[in-house]
Amino acid sequence: MTAIKICALGSVNLDMIIQTKTLPRAGETIAQGRFESLPGGKGANVALAAQRLGAQVELRAAIGNDDYAAQALRFLKEGGVDLSALVTIEHSHTGLAFINVADDGENQIAVASGANDAFKPAQISPIHADGIITQFEIPLETIQAAIDGFEGFVAINASPVVEGLEKLLPHASLIIVNEGEYEAYQSALQGYEGQLAITLGSKGAKLLKAGKIIAEAAPPKVDVVDTTGAGDSFAAALTTALMEGQTPQQALEFACTVGALTTTKLGTQAATPYRADVDKALGATL
């Protein structure tokens, strides 16, 4: 089967991760943490996840002219993601995320967007792909410029919550949200007739079409280390599976498995599973 071509449109970050026994409360300092820096950013996370799952992926994103960029792009380069269309913003830093992960896998994240916020519509050239996956860590007007007139599959992981989702709905083949995002977007999603995936954490996910549930799935049991990148890998997996022609039920089970496997390792891109690992896990649950 010929690999599908996906354009991942979104952010690039370098994740600064500190692991501590518990998450700090306001004003609290927790010592004896363990530090690691790893590539991240929702656009980059989705790009590598889709590539590892068998798609041919191009990343459209912006980086700063700094040392952080090389570190942030390391896994993408090693993984074979097409980076030829990356934009360098001279007077912005590469996006940075400061992540605190507790021993139970829960996390807190603060982001300094840098070049991601400076990624403007004028820097978007025509996209030649079978589909686009995007998220809201870059300006909505840049996303609008990319999907206007695009005739392929458009998946929107509507995270983090922003105003203006309704402007993108006419172009969307698939919207992906978690429970909190779904509640926040209730009014914006009124009348949306496309596919809508709602992730439910450890309970799995459900997929709706025109407001009616067409698939439900639960993830396999795993030992959770870090939940940080699960949502991004889920989005990449569901989009890839649906574009491959899997049924809604198969695609949702596939995505839930990918999301669960991502939580078994520290980091986002570093934890993203390969297709062979996912197929093995799915086979073990049959």
| CATH number of the domain bearing residue 115 | 3.40.1190.20
What distances in angstroms separate CA 24 from CA 29, 106, 109, 204, 248, one per listed residue? 6, 11, 12, 28, 40
Active site residue 232: yes
| pLDDT higher than threshold 50 for residue 27 | yes
Q: What is the pLDDT of residue 34?
A: 95
Residue 166 has phi, psi (to 5 degrees) of: -60, -25
Q: Which of 89, 55, 93, 59 is nearest to 77 (CA)?
A: 59
Residues 69-117 have pLDDT tens digits of 999 999 999 999 999 999 999 999 999 989 898 988 888 989 899 999 9
Options 66, 226, 232, 279, the catalytic residue: 232
pLDDT recorded at residue 285: 58
Per the domain annotation, does 256 fall within a domain? Answer: yes
Q: Which domain holds residue 126?
A: 5-279
- Asked if residue 52 belongs to a domain, the reply is yes
| Domains in the chain, number | 1
Per residue in 234-277, pLDDT tens?
999 999 999 999 999 999 999 999 999 999 998 789 899 999 99
For residue 105, the model assigns a pLDDT of 80
**Would you say residue 73 lies in a domain?**
yes
284 found inside a domain = no
Domain contains 286: no
pLDDT of residue 284: 67
Position 285 in a domain: no
| Residue 142 domain-assigned (yes or no) | yes
Residues listed for the chain: 286
pLDDT band at 2 (very low <50, low <70, confident <90, very high): confident
Spatial CB neighbours of 27, under 8 Å, sequence gap ≥ 6: none
Residue 1 pLDDT: 64
Question: pLDDT digits over 188-243, tens only?
Answer: 999 899 999 999 988 999 999 999 999 999 999 999 988 888 999 999 999 999 99
Mean pLDDT of 49-63: 98
